[in-house]
Amino acid sequence: MTKALKKLTGKVVVITGASSGIGKALAYEFSRYNAKLVIGARNIDELNVIASELSSVGVEVLPVKTDVTSEGDCKNLIEQAISRYGQIDILINNAGISMRALFKDVDLKVIRHLMDVNFWGTVYCTKYALPYLLETKGSVVGVSSIAGFHGLPGRCGYSASKFAMHGFLETLRIENLKNGLHVMIAAPGFTATNVRFSALTADGTPQGMSPRDEKNMMTPEEVAKIIVKGIVKRRRNIIMGTEGKISVLAQRILPTVIDRLLYGYMAKEPNSPFK
């Protein structure tokens, strides 16, 4: 029996944003280790498809329609998990949305929406899951971004929401140092998901296209495997991808240089807001 199988068999895992991308890949990855799943997202039809596929191979899975901007929905997600399984061992705050616009051009409702999804969604779900996670000495995971370690030009609201998530989770970790709670921040590099297609433009409409060539990006499945391994090892932070690791390190020792490099890098995107 592998270490991961031994540690994850029978564990109850709650995943937000589980209808696509990294969240969906996480559901399938955890299913390989006989975990019990609670998957939340707004798209209940897609959740039901995932649940049907996993149930057909013997995985216990509960789909729950969840809009993480709603405190009531987040509370219901956790209550449904407890009602079905009686415990929660792992909470993965994965639901997220991005943006692409300069701050001078962006409607403030866009930034507010990103904070509601990326930050408040994490806070709501964690608040209601925390008592149960403390009982199991479980794990809270925030699926973040390199944008949470340093500002990403053209993504001001996205970076702000991820910085806020980091501050929240790091404080949560310190407050529970003696309670056995594991808190992990996972920061994928550029990943081939639909997040970029649904990223909001200055007026709040989805951009509907990816500004990047996705063939060289990480896949959601690769990211999911790294996150699961990190949970098993109870890692603190995981920064994925060579570019991500270099940029985070450079931010600490050569901040002015990385500022200029990031500006140039983002300005080269097709239809860049810098042009």
Contacts with 25 (C-beta within 8 Å, 6 or more apart), sequence order: 219, 220, 221, 223, 224
Of the residues 28, 33, 158, 265, only one is catalytic, namely: 158
The answer to whether residues 150 and 162 touch, using CB atoms and an 8 Å cutoff, is no
CA dihedral 40, 45, 46, 52 (to 10 degrees): 90
Closest CA to 44 of 82, 11, 71, 77: 77
Q: Does residue 263 carry a catalytic annotation?
A: no
Backbone angles phi, psi at 56, to 5 degrees: -65, -20
Closest CA to 116 of 158, 148, 65: 158
Closest CA to 46 of 30, 66, 60, 74: 66
Could you give the residue numbers annotated as active site? 158
